Structure formats: C-alpha cells, structure tokens
C-alpha cells in the first residue's frame, strides 16, 4: 500500500515529536515491505507560521527591529531542535543551511520594513520559511536514524496560480512534476520529505495555499501520485461521535463519508476542513486521521462513500445559542414571491440561516448571528408577521444510513421522548436530520441520542 503521511504542526513541534514521526513512518514502511516508501509531508513546527505572519505585520508597520528579532528567535529555535536530532557533519550542513535561509529572509524583512510594504508575494515567501525549514530538518533526522530520506522542495512540485495566500493548484502540471521529481525517489527506495502549504507558480514564484493548507498539499500530492491512502497525523484520535463538551464520553467514528464529514464540519467539528481533502476523495483515495501521540489508535477514515451499511448513525452535532424566527405571511397564505422577499431580507443583512421549515402560512428559520436581527425583523414586518425566540439550539443527527433505514429517525424521536421539539427538518441529501429545541434541553437531548445510538446498550 503506497501512502502519503502528513504530519501537522504539533506532530513536528520539537525534537521529541519529530522522533515520533520517524518511528511512525518507519513502522508504516516495515509493515508494508513490498510497497514503495511513504511520502512524508510536514507542516511548519507549531506556532511558526503565526510568528511569520506577525513578522509580516510588523514589517508593514515599519517595525524592522521587532520583525527581524522574530526571525532571529525562530532561527535559534530551529538550530536547537536540529542539534538534538542530528549529529556530526550532517548537523553542520543542516545548521549552515538553516542559518543561510533565515539570514537571507532577515535581510528581506529588513528591506520590506524600510519600505513599509509587504506585498502578497513577499508575505508568501516569508510564510513559506516554516515548512521549508521543518521539512529540511525532518529529512535530516530521518537520515540520522538510518532511513534513506530525500528532502524535496515542494515549490518545485506543487504548481499553482499566482493567487497569493490562497493559491489554486494546477493538478495537471503538479502531476507531471510529481512523476518527474517525487516518484523516482520512492522508486529508488527513498522517503521523500516535503513541506506542506507551499508551492510556486509555473515561473517559480513562491505561493501558499492558505492557513492550514498542509492537509490540502497532502491531498494534492496523494491525488497526483495516485497513492492508496492519505494519512493525516495530528494530535487528536480522529472524529468523535459528539462534542465532548456536551457528551461526556463520545467514541471515535471509525469511518465516514466525505459528505458526512462536511456536515459535521459545518457544525464545528474541526479536525480537518473537508474541502481540503477533496482532491483525494474525488479520486476515491481514502483519507485517514491519526494521532501521532497515540499511533496505535485506529483513527477515522474518510472515504467517498462512507460505510453506508449497518443500522446506526455516524455522529451527532449541535449548535448552541441560536434564534428561531417565525415569519407568517400577512395575507394568511403563501403569496407568490413571499419566499423570495423573505430570503432577500436575510441576504441584504448578510445573515446566513441554518434550518428552514415551512408550513402553509408560515416559515421558520434559525440564525446564529443576531447582529442585524432588529433590521431583519423590521424589514420582514413590511410584509409579514414576525416573532422570535432566542436561546434555542440545533441538534443534528448525521448518517448515510438515514437514507436507507427509516427506523433510525423513529428511534431518534423516541429517544428524545419528553423533550419539546420546536422544529424538525430533513436535509435534501437525507443524510442528516436537524431538531431545533431549547438550548436548556440540548445537553439532555444530545446525551439521550448518544446513549441510544452509541451507548454501551445501543446494540447497533
Ligand atoms: N503551517 C501552516 C499553518 O499553520 C499550514 C499548516 O500547518 O497546515 O497554517
Ligand atoms: Mg497547522
């Protein structure tokens, strides 16, 4: 099984974490001896990108000393970690490289600060330093541990447009570069080590994919190299069946579909942003979330189709502190154009609505952003009667199985027995159902549902 293994900022935060990375990669390869070696993608060490962003801000404010000071501090941190990972001439070489890169950057930062301007291209060049440095260090650490690894400059592989800080990959060009630069290394038995988040235009100008973009890099490389699995190594076990702040002991979701993951992300499950792994899922490559501190835990697998069998839900989600707005047509019937006028009001005040339910004469919507609520209400009152109810919550049950097994909905409603439901709505996709209820009831509701579907006695 050929794999991409991506390690996030906390998974490479120091020498100890990087050593865990080496052991995890070594085990993956040892367990799959007939496969090609894994391709490793790393983020910047934790907090480094934040500090580089801050450097750019200071430079734009002409605070050259403060800005260059940060680069100096970052160099010191990297040299220290390098020294505890690598020895002898290899350490000299690595440290000389880090010194050269950071010192050159320091010179650039000084120039930008003198000019009081950091262009979008300059900001990307600045932020790229984090992944360039971490990937060089991890590659050297592998070799120190006797693993034949090769540092690969991602800027020569990931080809993007020139939209700085939100660059869009050119998949065709990147596939060619992957075949020309990365594949020969794995074919020769080397572990390629690459920085995530960064790329370059076809002309070689450094770009970045946007904050948190290393997952995206891993998915792009995975799709272009057509690997069998993409592993996203992070500092949590995977996706959980519910938010642990609401349900005391949620369990790990072993496998879910890309669409289920997107529904859950909408409700704030933030292990990874599903859209960033789309290039992989679109090619049917499974993406597995794993914990680099507890590599023995199976993690969560995201696939195009999910499990879609069995007779249970995939996960629960909730959103607290929402407001329900009931809007009744003043003419006591759904006049032609009523819905259009109604949603135009929300559009005008840039307020997204979450759940929408309709009856013959009225529409109910929920919003969680009440900043413009007074304006919205007064505009709606031009053509409708309006009432609102604050301190409500949305509870969402998610599962591809909801499409095929109507008993799941019945079980959910039965388990909520006694809790007043204000609204109920099934998504068009039919993979989720939302209940709107009083915020005061949300903990009770979530726990009842969780016991029913994921508790010890769930019998699912
Ligand atoms: N280092 C980048 C960031 O912090 C990219 C990433 O970690 O995914 O946003
Ligand atoms: Mg990160």
User: Is 154 inside a domain boundary?
Assistant: yes
Q: Which of 179, 202, 235 is the last residue of a domain?
A: 235
Q: Taking the alpha carbons of 458, 396, 322, 236 in that order, is the dihedral positive or negative?
A: positive
CA of 233 to the centre of ligand 1 (A): 13
Q: Which of 205, 235, 265 is the last residue of a domain?
A: 235
Whether residue 44 is found in the same domain as residue 134: yes
Average pLDDT, the chain: 95
Domain range spanning residue 61?
Answer: 3-235
Whether residue 22 is found in the same domain as residue 121: yes
Per-residue pLDDT band for 271 (boundaries 50, 70, 90) equals confident
- Give the pLDDT mean for 5-30: 97
Whether residue 16 is found in the same domain as residue 110: yes
Beta-carbon contacts of residue 146 (< 8 Å; ≥ 6 apart): none
User: Is 158 inside a domain boundary?
Assistant: yes
Residue to substitute in 55, 206, 211, 215 for testing ligand 1 pocket (most ligand atoms within 8 angstroms of CB): 211
CA of 260 to the centre of ligand 1 (A): 24
Q: Which of 303, 43, 283 is nearest to 171 (CA)?
A: 283
CA distances to 106, 153, 199 from 103, rounded to whole Å, are 5, 19, 21
Q: Which of 445, 459, 440 is nearest to 412 (CA)?
A: 445
Per-residue pLDDT band for 360 (boundaries 50, 70, 90) equals confident
- The number of folded domains in the chain is 2
User: Is 97 inside a domain boundary?
Assistant: yes
Q: Which ranges in 11-87 belong to alpha helices (H)?
A: 15-31, 48-60, 64-85
User: Is 428 inside a domain boundary?
Assistant: yes
Whether residue 227 is found in the same domain as residue 336: no
User: Is 304 inside a domain boundary?
Assistant: no
Share of the chain above pLDDT 90, in %: 88
Whether residue 79 is found in the same domain as residue 217: yes
Lowest-confidence range among 69-78, 130-139, 332-341? 332-341
Does the pLDDT value for residue 335 go beyond 90? no
Per-residue pLDDT band for 319 (boundaries 50, 70, 90) equals very high
CATH number at residue 394: 3.30.2130.10
Whether residue 186 is found in the same domain as residue 333: no
CA of 126 to the centre of ligand 2 (A): 16
CATH number at residue 140: 3.40.1160.10
Per residue in 148-177, pLDDT tens? 999 999 999 999 999 999 999 999 999 999
Whether residue 29 is found in the same domain as residue 130: yes
Q: Whose CA is nearest to atom 8 of ligand 1?
A: 212
User: Is 46 inside a domain boundary?
Assistant: yes
CA of 9 to the centre of ligand 2 (A): 5
> What is the CB < 6 Å shell around ligand 1?
8-9, 43-44, 49, 130, 196-197, 211-214
Per residue in 188-232, pLDDT tens? 999 999 999 999 999 999 999 999 999 999 999 999 999 999 999
pLDDT of residue 43: 98
Q: Which residue has the tokens 């995975």?
A: 222
Q: Which of 196, 211, 235 is the last residue of a domain?
A: 235
Whether residue 114 is found in the same domain as residue 226: yes
Whether residue 71 is found in the same domain as residue 201: yes
Q: Which atom of ligand 1 is nearest to the CA of 216?
A: 8
- Give the pLDDT mean for 323-332: 87
pLDDT of residue 332: 55
Per residue in 48-99, pLDDT tens? 999 999 999 999 999 999 999 999 999 999 999 999 999 999 999 999 999 9
User: Is 268 inside a domain boundary?
Assistant: no
Q: Which of 1, 38, 454 is nearest to 233 (CA)?
A: 38
User: Is 172 inside a domain boundary?
Assistant: yes
CA of 433 to the centre of ligand 1 (A): 33
Whether residue 217 is found in the same domain as residue 321: no
Per-residue pLDDT band for 414 (boundaries 50, 70, 90) equals very high
Q: Which atom of ligand 1 is nearest to the CA of 214?
A: 8
């Amino acid at each position: 099984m050929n794999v991409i293994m991506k390690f996030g900022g906390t998974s490479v935060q120091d020498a100890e974490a990087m050593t865990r990375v080496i052991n995890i990669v070594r085990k993956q390869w040892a367990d799959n001896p007939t496969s090609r070696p894994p391709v490793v993608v790393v983020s910047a060490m934790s907090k480094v990108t934040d500090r580089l962003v801050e450097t750019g801000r200071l430079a734009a404010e002409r605070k050259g000393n403060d800005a260059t000071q940060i680069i100096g501090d970052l160099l010191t941190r990297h040299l220290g970690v390098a020294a505890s990972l690598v020895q002898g001439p290899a350490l000299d070489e690595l440290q000389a490289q880090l010194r050269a890169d950071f010192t050159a950057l320091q010179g650039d930062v000084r120039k930008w600060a003198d000019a009081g301007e950091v262009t979008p291209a300059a900001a990307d060049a600045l932020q790229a330093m984090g992944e360039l440095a971490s990937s060089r260090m991890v590659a050297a650490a592998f070799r120190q541990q006797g693993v034949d690894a090769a540092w690969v400059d991602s800027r020569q592989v990931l080809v993007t447009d020139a939209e700085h800080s939100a660059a869009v990959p050119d998949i065709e060009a990147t596939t060619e570069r992957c075949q020309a630069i990365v594949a020969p290394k794995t074919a020769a038995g080397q572990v390629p080590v690459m920085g995530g988040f960064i790329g370059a235009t076809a002309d070689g100008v450094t770009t970045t994919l946007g904050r948190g973009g290393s997952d995206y890099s891993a998915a792009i490389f995975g799709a272009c190299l057509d690997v069998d699995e993409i592993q996203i190594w992070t500092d949590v076990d995977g996706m959980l069946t519910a938010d642990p702040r609401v349900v005391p002991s949620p369990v790990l979701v072993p496998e879910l579909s890309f669409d289920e993951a997107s529904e859950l992300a909408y409700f704030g499950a933030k292990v990874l942003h599903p859209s960033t792994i789309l290039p992989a899922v679109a090619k049917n490559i499974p993406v597995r979330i794993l914990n680099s501190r507890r590599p023995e835990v199976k993690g969560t697998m995201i696939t195009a189709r999910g499990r879609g069998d069995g007779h249970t839900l995939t996960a629960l989600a909730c959103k607290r502190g929402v407001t329900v707005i009931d809007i009744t047509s003043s003419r006591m019937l759904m006049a032609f154009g009523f819905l259009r006028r109604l949603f135009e009001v929300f559009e005008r005040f840039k307020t997204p609505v979450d759940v929408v339910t309709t009856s013959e004469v009225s529409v109910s919507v929920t919003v969680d952003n009440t900043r413009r609520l007074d304006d919205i209400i007064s505009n709606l009152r031009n053509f409708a009667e309006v009432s609102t109810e604050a301190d409500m919550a949305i509870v969402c049950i998610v599962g591809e199985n909801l499409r095929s097994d109507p008993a799941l909905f019945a079980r959910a409603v039965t388990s909520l027995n006694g809790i007043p439901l204000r609204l109920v709505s099934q998504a068009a996709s039919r993979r989720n159902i939302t209940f709107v209820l009083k915020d005061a009831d949300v903990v009770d509701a979530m726990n009842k549902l969780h016991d029913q579907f994921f508790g010890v006695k769930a019998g699912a």
